[in-house]
Amino acid sequence: MRMIDLALKDLLQIARDRLSAIFLVVMPLAFTVFIGVVFRFGGEDPRLPVGLIVEEDAAEPLVGVLVGLLERSESIRVERLEPDALGALEEAVRNNDLGGGLVVPASFAESLLGADALPGEALPLRGIVNPSNTVAVTVQAEMERVASRLQAIAETARLSAASYEERQGFSSPAERRAYVVEALEQAAAAWQDPPVRLRATAGVAPQDEGAPSGYLQSSPGIMVQFAIFGLISSATVLVVERKSGVLGRMMSAPIPRWQVIGGHFLSLWTVAFLQMLILVAFGQLVLGVPYLTAPLAILVMIAALALFTASLGLLLGAVARGEDQVVLFGLILMFLLTGLGGAWFPLDITGETFSRIGHLLPSAWAMDGLQNVIVRGQGLASVLLPAGILGAWAIALLAAASWRLRPE
């Protein structure tokens, strides 16, 4: 078919350009490693800051367990404040300098570990959030999750102490207290390293806990960025054909117009798809990013992303008046789509308003689909909506490019 011949001709032109190999392969690999290292070892902690006040006489063993649970949180980080800094904490939360606050009263330990503590009784913790702050829901939900886990740990220690008391008894309240504290520490350690782990049975393996977190952002982010940036080389081929009259001769030849457009589109899609396939393989084999936990879902996502970038490249090649405009428009699109679409930093940390704006762009949905697999450990069903939105964008851009594409 003539369409395939035209696609092969475009691919051969791109392959002959040595700079294309640098822009399409070498630079994305280098940026993936560099940005991943920056996210992992450099920069500010992206977790939401939460002020913690521990009142005088609060039992330290239980407070230590609470602080340990808070410090292991993936969404909040603890800033320890002085016991008399309640007013400063409330003002910082009110001014959105802190995402929230948590106050541990002096009676905290006794309510959990005392002999008369009631099972399932609510913890006497005071959470402070600003309802007008977009992160309030996230902070409150995480503090409640930590409190629930702490309550379960304390309940385990109490049950162990009650069982021991029935069998052997304690000689004094101090002995019981020491036993409860030791049981508490053992229960907390068991929570961190449970003897039994559940695996998902829907064909998706759980995320590798040892995968460097920086690469979980940089690998899909750079993939999205350079999928857009890579279309510059392909779109330039189309502009050169328009300016030189080659496109006009092809359209005047006995070749259906759709095959001419389809040949260019196929070459754009192939370049983008192969580029992303290389980045996926590099991320999986070299960086340990768990793409292969759901390979079919990843294939669907990169195929849909390639459809979007190919349509965008075709439109760029149709509207640009010269090679310099291809580069200019390509860079503008790259910075716009990746900067607002969460390719450089997670949209989760930007607040609800920015996240909603970002999701007006297809790049944000591309990041969602890829990270549903590598970060959240989900499968094919989780990428259908993001892939569908990318496909809708591709159809709209392809229609616009087909209407606009004319020989000079």
Q: Is 198 exposed, middle or buried (0-12, 13-18, 19+ CB in 10 A)?
A: exposed
Is a pLDDT exceeding 80 seen at residue 63?
no
Domain 49-192 has CATH 3.40.190: yes
Q: How confident is the model at residue 374 (pLDDT cuts 50, 70, 90)?
A: confident
Higher pLDDT, 87 or 243: 87
Is a pLDDT exceeding 90 seen at residue 161?
no
Q: What is the pLDDT of residue 323?
A: 72
Q: DSSP readout, 218-244?
A: HHHHHHHHHHHHTHHHHHHHHHHHHHH
Q: How confident is the model at residue 207 (pLDDT cuts 50, 70, 90)?
A: very low
- β-strands 48-54, 126-128 pairing: unpaired
| Pair of tokens at residue 99 | 């995402």
Q: How confident is the model at residue 264 (pLDDT cuts 50, 70, 90)?
A: confident
Q: How confident is the model at residue 344 (pLDDT cuts 50, 70, 90)?
A: confident
Task: Report the C-alpha dihedral over residues 391, 396, 398, 399, rounded to 10 degrees.
Answer: 140
Q: What is the pLDDT of residue 285?
A: 87
Is a pLDDT exceeding 70 seen at residue 67?
yes
Q: What is the pLDDT of residue 43?
A: 46
Instruction: Report how far residue 8's alpha carbon sits from residue 14's, in angstroms, rounded to the nearest whole number.
Output: 10
User: Mean pLDDT, the chain, as a whole number?
Assistant: 75
Q: Is 291 exposed, middle or buried (0-12, 13-18, 19+ CB in 10 A)?
A: buried
| Pair of tokens at residue 80 | 């320890």
Q: How confident is the model at residue 10 (pLDDT cuts 50, 70, 90)?
A: low
Q: What is the pLDDT of residue 210?
A: 42
Please tell me which of 194-203, 304-313, 368-377 the model is most confident about, judged by mean pLDDT: 304-313
| Eight-state DSSP code of residue 400 | H
Q: What is the pLDDT of residue 198?
A: 44
**Where do the structural domains in the chain lie, given as residue ranges?**
2-42+209-404, 49-192
Q: How confident is the model at residue 396 (pLDDT cuts 50, 70, 90)?
A: very high
Q: What is the pLDDT of residue 257?
A: 66
Instruction: Report how far residue 337's alpha carbon sits from residue 355's, in angstroms, rounded to the nearest whole number.
Output: 13
- Nearest CA to 224 out of 283, 171, 165, 163 is that of 283
Compute the average pLDDT of residues 390-396: 92
- Give pTM, 2 decimals: 0.58
Q: How confident is the model at residue 258 (pLDDT cuts 50, 70, 90)?
A: low
Instruction: Report how far residue 8's alpha carbon sits from residue 4's, in angstroms, rounded to the nearest whole number.
Output: 6
* pLDDT cut 70: percent of the chain above it: 66
Model confidence over 119-135: pLDDT tens digits? 555 667 788 888 877 66
Give the H/E segment covering residue 128: strand 126-128
Q: How many CB atoms lie within 10 A of CB 332?
A: 10
**Contact between residue 314 and residue 238 where contact means Cβ atoms under 8 Å apart:** yes
Is a pLDDT exceeding 60 seen at residue 201?
no
Higher pLDDT, 373 or 229: 373
288: alpha, beta or left, given left = phi > 0 and alpha = psi -120 to 50?
A: left
| Pair of tokens at residue 82 | 């002085």
Q: What is the pLDDT of residue 388?
A: 94
Higher pLDDT, 19 or 78: 78
Q: What helix, strand, coil percent values describe the chain, rounded to 5?
A: 70, 5, 25
Is a pLDDT exceeding 60 seen at residue 25?
yes
Instruction: Report how far residue 397's alpha carbon sits from residue 401's, in angstroms, rounded to the nearest whole number.
Output: 6
Please tell me which of 71-80, 242-251, 346-355 the model is most confident about, judged by mean pLDDT: 71-80
**Contact between residue 124 and residue 108 where contact means Cβ atoms under 8 Å apart:** yes
Q: How confident is the model at residue 343 (pLDDT cuts 50, 70, 90)?
A: confident
Q: What is the pLDDT of residue 75?
A: 73
Q: How confident is the model at residue 341 (pLDDT cuts 50, 70, 90)?
A: confident
Please tell me which of 41-45, 191-195, 341-345 the model is most confident about, judged by mean pLDDT: 341-345
